[in-house]
Amino acid sequence: MANAQFKHRYIPMTEQDEKEMLQAVGVGSIDELFADIPASVRYQGRLNVSEALNEGALLRHMRTLAGKNADSDSHVSFLGAGLYDHHIPVVINHIVSRSEFYTAYTPYQPEISQGELQAIFEFQSYICELTGMAVANASMYDGATAFAEAGALAYGATKRKRLVVSRAVHPEARAVLAVTAKGLGLEIAEAAVAEGVTDLAQLNNAIDENTAAVMVQYPNFFGSVEDLAALAAAAHGAGALLIVSANPLALGLLEAPGKLGADIVVGDAQPLGISPAFGGPTCGYFAVSEAHMRRIPGRLVGQTVDRDGKRGFVLTLQAREQHIRREKATSNICSNQALLALCASVYLSVMGRQGLKDIASLNLQKSHYAARRLAQVPGVTIAFSAPFFNEFVIKMPDGLKDVQALNIELLKHGIIGGYDLGREYPELSGHMLVAVTEQRTKEEIDALASRLEAVRA
């Protein structure tokens, strides 16, 4: 009887419940319920799964499985490529774990949603300040969907059907864009990369009178810093928009894209206090110049006053198909990522202007130390000469060309290696994208270099 209490902690239904439900729908058994499905396509037999476990045994089993994961708590991570191991202040979880935030969904009734609406308003304000743009929305699913929606906005604003996208943009963001573009009947042209940044001459050749937007990343997928002013001149010279996907943490040091000519700035807020969590969820942001405010996807929260003159917050603009005529909707993005946007807002409020600059500086300094140290490994070279933020590309020597095998070896020593660029860029086979955040210590960086030296030997 010792384990009896664990056997059925949650009982979805009793036999009597089942009998009454079957009777209500007019059938006598579960098999009869599925009679319309031919027996030939129904699975016959027993699924190849283990016997049921009681609660205690199941928890032990799941902990054992979870213990096999290699994450940034158990390993030293040099893997970035869009998700980064940054410090997350403990106050963030304390705030977002409050029930009024983690149970909130859509603040349709402003009179009972002031806390949620204010939190979203603060997020929008932070994003505008970081990006140098006039208006930001209440967040989006992630950076990749925000990027794709930016392309759709450019098409709607210009009535042109060609998007010129740098190959230095994250491959997954380009893949999401391709799906969106196909649905809208848009053409995508890719601009080549030279020395780790967008090839400006090749980009200019790709731009024509039908180009709606030039789309780039800042810093780009290789960690290199693009010349946004030159890219803006190229886009605007042809009457196209400049869309920039920006790492918000890097904007603690780099000039705001809005001040360099960007018309739309999007990105992923994950570096701002959001855990990588084995791939998500994250939070996309979307900011535009005032000229494109009414085309912004999702929703906007605005500040107002009530009839007594007290400050309040409301949903001021919702260009979603749920709220307006479908043919007038700018997007079918339905939900914002309010809880994760709150994480970003708490992070920015805790860090403050100087704190954000200091964290960005640590990323810059530590990554440049790492580049110098790894370049001392015999045969390892820095692949590109362009300036970079906290990621850079190294070219492996002949004996270490198999980056996947190298990463498996590094895992044995508690190190999560960099991203194998050969997976998405065949011309960069044998190259590794290394991310170094403020979390990495000199000793950890030196240990990575020493391990590469040992494998090389």
pLDDT tens for each residue of 154-166: 999 999 999 999 9
% of the chain residues with pLDDT over 70: 93
Report the candidate in 230, 229, 224 with the shortest Cα–Cα distance to residue 196: 224
Residue 3 pLDDT exceeds 60: no
- Does domain 76-87+352-456 fall into CATH 3.30.950.10? no
CB 241 within 8 A of CB 213: yes
Provide the mean pLDDT of the chain.
Answer: 91
Helix or strand run (H / E) with residue 301: strand 299-305
The matching CATH number, chosen from 3.40.50.2300, 3.40.640.10, 1.10.1060.10, 3.20.20.220, for 90-347 is: 3.40.640.10
pLDDT tens per residue, range 66-85: 999 888 889 999 999 999 99
pLDDT tier at 330, thresholds 50, 70, 90? low
pLDDT tens for 94-147 read 999 988 887 776 777 777 888 889 999 999 999 999 999 999 999 999 999 999
Contact 142, 281 (CB under 8 A): yes
Among the listed ranges 26-30, 191-195, 348-352, 445-449, which one has the minimum average pLDDT value? Answer: 26-30
pLDDT of 333 strictly over 60: yes
pLDDT for residue 2 is more than 50: no
- pLDDT tens, 365-412? 999 999 999 999 999 999 999 999 999 999 999 878 899 999 999 999
Take residue 87 and report the two structure tokens written for it: 């410090």
Q: What is the DSSP string of 58-118?
A: HHHHHHHHHTT---TTTSEE---TT-------HHHHHHHTSHHHHT------GGG-HHHHH
Looking only at the bridges linking them, the beta strands covering 187-191 and 391-395 are: unpaired
Confidence band, pLDDT 50/70/90 cuts, at residue 316: confident
Higher-confidence residue of 172 and 115: namely 172
- Res 27: pLDDT: 92
Return residue ranges of the chain for CATH 3.40.640.10. 90-347
Please state, in angstroms and rounded to a whole number, the distance separating the CA atoms of residues 349 and 122: 10
